[in-house]
Amino acid sequence: MARVGIRIALSIACFAAACSRGDSTSGAAGLASRQSVGDAAGSPVSGGTLVFAFDGAAITEFDLDPHKSGFAPHHRIIRSIFDSLVVALPNHRFGPWLARSWDVAADGRTYTFHLRDDVKFHDGTRFDAQAVKFNFDRIEDPKNALFALSDIGPYDSTIVVDDFTAQVKLTQPYAPFLANLSKSSLGMVSPTAVKQYGDAFPVHPVGTGPFAFRSLEAGTEIVLDRNPDYHWSPSGAAHDGPAWLDRIVFKNVPEEATRVAVLENGQADAADLIPPQNLLELRSSPEFHVVTGELLNHNYSLYLNVGRDPWRDARIRRAFKLSLDIGAAVHTVYLGTLSRAWAPISPSILGYDATLENSWKPDPEAAARTLEDLGWRRGPDGVRIKDGQRLSVVVLDTQGNREKRIDLLTVFRHQLRQNGFDLRIDSQPQGLYLAKSAAGEYDLLAGSLFAPDPDVMRRIHSPLFRAATSVSKVNDADLNRLLDAGAAELDPAARAKIYAQAERLILDETYSIPVYVLLYTVAEANRVHGVAIDVHGFPVFYDGWIGT
């Protein structure tokens, strides 16, 4: 229990979260779809620089340490620098990457990884079992306060069996372990570089990936160069050997109109998170194509503060939910490019409960009756009042209109006002946001969390596993029991049934209100080929190339 306590104190919940000419979808199809890209476009050509305009929000510091960063836009770059022990494949399967193979003990507490013996870090040092031990022990060390701490679950130790065999010991069965190992947050870092750069490692990242870090300009640009020695691509890749591209230049362009402009005028070869109105245009353009993939994550959701009045009362939380027309709001803001969410987790994650789809609909009249019965009467301006307290909903925010979330909240504000709720947005810098969220000084938080496993619900809702800054303040014994059981259950079918129960409980109690399923999109000029979206919903540049 002391080990769990250390994890709680140090983990930070950062809520962030094949192509053809026209539009295509990968993600669920995963790495298998990547092969069709090059085939359709012709033979890959080696060389060239790809300029990628990405939405990095108004973040002025780049953090390229996979174990430290919890910011999804940075992990979209991190993935090209760092490899993982295993790769996620479609249909909840895993394939070899830095580990050629692995064995799992019958009790689920010991994982033995048989590593490749021909891998080197970008600094020329050898990747081996000692490096694996260093990585896990680094994440586990509480003084490092790393985001990836939650990903290693009940980690106990790593035994170096021989140079290329590492045995990882857990204190109890942990079903999400392989899924988490496939995440970029558990990419393997160079022990030598970590020791050399210390606290500066996030701006001097060294991994084993197909691209090596070259330079950065804080908040503006990151440059990666091809790793000429790379020949250990993951299962499912379209080729082996070095990447086709010589270089990738990542340009942070948080303004969505500017991202579209630099793509259309040729300053960028590709751009991500295209706004809906432009996405529709680019899909029909003969000069561009769009790659789309479902991001595996806890869907963007609304979380009322159950530790604060009046949201302790489940009846008021339900009245809040019934006052929202989520489907209409999502369609208004995203113009049909995103689907509304019905469950806490995205549809391609193990345990997604499809029976929740269309399980409830807006009912502002019923919500109004509930509020009236509870003594909330409309005031002169239409906002409900009880015992001198206005029915105000203060939304704490720090990332602005990323993914058009402020636009979405503005639509919700109008809907809620019709029923006497007064929704207001409190935009704060990240430090103050984290302080206020930890102190519970808000009515509502909203966010998502990228993760490939349903255990993400425990990282959000369980008091034993969430951070103080988590979007959820729930403490429900029945929910905790279900989430603990799901993490320990090794049979996938049995896990899925457990998580279906957990999802329904979360919705029945209005602990969260799912809003939309994020499809990560990359728009590319037709000279770009082979860039795809992996099973996690992150861009993969290894098979990418530039033609004429």
Residue 103 is which amino acid? D
Higher pLDDT, 366 or 24: 366
pLDDT above 80 (res 402)? yes
How confident is the model at residue 26, as a pLDDT?
Answer: 41
Residues in the chain: 548
Handedness of CA 65, 68, 72, 73 (dihedral sign): negative
pLDDT by residue (tens digit) across 421-478? 999 999 999 889 999 999 999 999 999 998 999 999 999 999 998 888 889 999 999 9
pLDDT above 90 (res 263)? yes
How confident is the model at residue 399, as a pLDDT?
Answer: 83
Helices 326-334 and 405-417 sit at what angle, rounded to 10 degrees?
Answer: 140
pLDDT by residue (tens digit) across 76-104? 999 999 999 999 999 899 999 999 999 99
What structural domains does the chain harbor? Answer: 2-294+520-546 (3.40.190.10), 298-517 (3.10.105.10)
Nearest CA among 186, 213, 182 for reference residue 69: 186
Backbone φ, ψ for residue 216 (5° rounding) = -150, 155
pLDDT above 50 (res 388)? yes
pLDDT above 50 (res 515)? yes
How confident is the model at residue 525, as a pLDDT?
Answer: 98
pLDDT by residue (tens digit) across 14-25? 333 333 334 444
Cis bond before residue 310 (omega within 30° of 0): yes
Residues 371, 319: contact at Cβ < 8 Å?
yes
pLDDT by residue (tens digit) across 197-238? 999 999 999 999 999 999 999 889 999 999 999 999 999 999
Mean of the pLDDT values across residues 361-382? 98
Instruction: State the average pLDDT for the chain.
Output: 91
How confident is the model at residue 34, as a pLDDT?
Answer: 32
Residues 543, 37: contact at Cβ < 8 Å?
yes
pLDDT above 70 (res 296)? yes
**How far, in Å, CA of 206 to CA of 120, rounded?**
11
Residues 330, 408: contact at Cβ < 8 Å?
yes
pLDDT above 80 (res 3)? no
Residue 9 host element (H or E): helix 2-10
Mean of the pLDDT values across residues 186-204? 97
Beta-strand relationship, 444-450 and 297-304: antiparallel
Higher pLDDT, 45 or 13: 45
How confident is the model at residue 41, as a pLDDT?
Answer: 61
**How far, in Å, CA of 273 to CA of 328, rounded?**
21
Range with lowest mean pLDDT among 300-304, 351-355, 461-465: 461-465
**How far, in Å, CA of 329 to CA of 101, rounded?**
47
